[in-house]
Amino acid sequence: MTEPLFRADAYLRDASAKVVAITEEGGIVLDRSIFYPTAGGQPGDSGRLTWDGGGIDVATTVKGEGEAIVLVPAEPSALPQVGRAVMQVLDWERRHRHMRVHTALHLLSVVIPLPVTGGSISADKGRLDFDMPEAPEDKEALEEALNELIGRDLPVADEWITEAELDANPGLVKTMSVQPPRGAGHIRLVRIGAGDTTVDLQPCGGTHVARTTEIGRVRLGKIEKKGKQNRRVYLHIEG
């Protein structure tokens, strides 16, 4: 099992760790990780791993067996031995852009209150697929509403509920194609706003900014028809 340090602090840019395994494919498993593994439409993190006498670039990060997180080297190179102490350094600029896009997509699901059938995130843009038989009449109004929410400087925080509590509140799950991971007995929720100012609350395991103004201004791109009832809405961050 790898301790997911990014879950407690998404702003952690470097941290020490110990190598606990090397996979058959040459992936590196640490006892704790600041690198987020590919999941929920958010790409795996990249960066660098260093140790006494060596170092390697990390191209991406994926989930391994059980609760393991696997760092994938950018190219074949000498790997650290199991038990070796290492230092993790995150490609922070790339990760932070993922956090901005991911949080903005949560807000997009607020201004378009329809079931979400899919989504993806990159460093410059993201998209959500909606169960939307008809295209929105006024894309500019949606963009204005989205930027107004961002400009409220709402706090973004996580909290935990039991699986039974989620079952009692199925409306919390907006994404039809991806269900929250189960088995641990608890589910992580991400709340945007607080108390009466809450605008969104849904299960999510990704990384997000601490306040909505950190997203910056966004622009809605093209809206594509995908099948009989699905429409894909693209969102771009500026700056």
Q: Where are the domains of the chain?
A: 3-90, 95-237
Residue 98 scores a pLDDT above 90: yes
In the chain, the percentage of residues whose pLDDT exceeds 70 is: 93
What does the pLDDT average to over 137-153?
96
What does the pLDDT average to over 118-135?
94
Strands 69-73 and 32-33: unpaired
pLDDT tier at 79, thresholds 50, 70, 90: very high
Residue 101 and residue 190 in contact, taking contact as beta carbons nearer than 8 Å: no
Q: Which amino acid is at 109?
A: S
pLDDT at 164: 76
| Secondary structure element (H or E) that encloses residue 205, with its range | none
pLDDT at 227: 84
The domain made up of 95-237 has a fold known as: Threonyl-tRNA Synthetase; Chain A, domain 2 (3.30.980)
Residue that wins the pLDDT comparison between 69 and 159: 69
What are the beta bridge partners of residue 121?
126
> What CATH number is given for 3-90 in this structure?
2.40.30.130
Residue 116 scores a pLDDT above 90: yes
Residue 90 and residue 45 in contact, taking contact as beta carbons nearer than 8 Å: yes
CA angle 154, 45, 216 (to 5 degrees): 30
Residue 2 and residue 69 in contact, taking contact as beta carbons nearer than 8 Å: yes
What does the pLDDT average to over 54-74?
96
3-class SS of residue 163: helix
Residue 102 and residue 109 in contact, taking contact as beta carbons nearer than 8 Å: no
Cβ burial of 70 (10 Å; 0-12, 13-18, 19+) is buried
What does the pLDDT average to over 129-141?
92
What are the beta bridge partners of residue 70?
29, 62
pLDDT tier at 137, thresholds 50, 70, 90: confident
What does the pLDDT average to over 145-165?
91
Residue 60 scores a pLDDT above 80: yes
Number of alpha helices (DSSP H) and beta strands (DSSP E) in the chain: 4, 15
Same fold, 3-90 and 95-237: no
Cβ burial of 8 (10 Å; 0-12, 13-18, 19+) is exposed
**pLDDT digit string (tens) for 164-206?**
777 777 666 766 555 555 455 678 889 999 999 999 999 899 9
pLDDT at 175: 65
pLDDT at 127: 97
The candidate with the shortest Cα–Cα distance to 210, out of 195, 231, 194, 186, is 194
pLDDT tier at 160, thresholds 50, 70, 90: confident
